[in-house]
Chain A
Amino acid sequence: AQKVTQAQTEISVVEKEDVTLDCVYETRDTTYYLFWYKQPPSGELVFLIRRNSFDEQNEISGRYSWNFQKSTSSFNFTITASQVVDSAVYFCALSEAEGADGLTFGKGTHLIIQP
């Protein structure tokens, strides 16, 4: 069975600070995908990134960066120079890479950026 753990329930930082959201996953599959989604107060889940289990390269997109470490089954997300607009609930998710691909989500981390 697949499992995603986001141990940080809520994080509060002051604007312009860097913040890292942790994600640890469990799966028996050898190939899989990892995702991060953002859920603002409006409720719609916004896709941020997908990473294939064979690709362990870190990725940077503007102020966002992701660190995938297969050895520790972690896929952490860092926001550099946080902004108030980054305030939201962030979800890490996992799916199989072959066959049906229903997502297994963590419980989410509520990120609060204070001005």
Chain B
Amino acid sequence: DAGVTQSPTHLIKTRGQQVTLRCSPKSGHDTVSWYQQALGQGPQFIFQYYEEEERQRGNFPDRFSGHQFPNYSSELNVNALLLGDSALYLCASSTGTGGVQYFGAGTRLSVL
């Protein structure tokens, strides 16, 4: 049984560019959450998708947007990249409300 998978593993972009990160949830899970983890910090909640809609959003600007597909996989898009967007981006999947969130290995984004 595959766990949460994220792609790509690493990514290098320059300021002003746009990036798309992808996540496939654990089998049987219908909810996907995205987190940003800066170096030496705890993960910060970006948003959560359920039934292809954004159910909850953290304190992140509109440059961060997402999508969930009918097969429950999800994308995180970041526009107009800033140096401060350099971080590890983690995807987590779960079922329903209050379900345990299981995390993928993350995508490390470097913005130069």
Contacts and interface: CB of A to CB of B under 8 A. Distances in A.
Contact of B98 (A47, A91, A98): A98
Contacts of A108: 41-42
B48 A47 contact: no
Interface string A1-21: 000101000000000000000
B72 interface: no
Interface in A96-113: 96-108
Interface stretch (B17-25, B63-71, B74-82, B99-107): B99-107
Contact of A47 (B55, B102, B108): B102
Contacts, number: 69
A-side interface size class: 20 to 34
A63 B90 CA distance: 28
Interface in B20-79: 33, 35, 40-45, 47-48, 55-56, 58
A108 B58 CA distance: 19
14 contacts: A37-B103, A43-B88, A45-B103, A93-B42, A100-B48, A101-B48, A101-B97, A101-B98, A103-B33, A103-B101, A105-B35, A105-B43, A107-B42, A108-B42
Given A107-B40, A108-B42, 7 more contacts: A91-B43, A95-B98, A97-B97, A101-B48, A101-B56, A101-B101, A105-B42
Interface of B: 33, 35, 40-45, 47-48, 55-56, 58, 88, 90, 92, 94, 97-106, 108
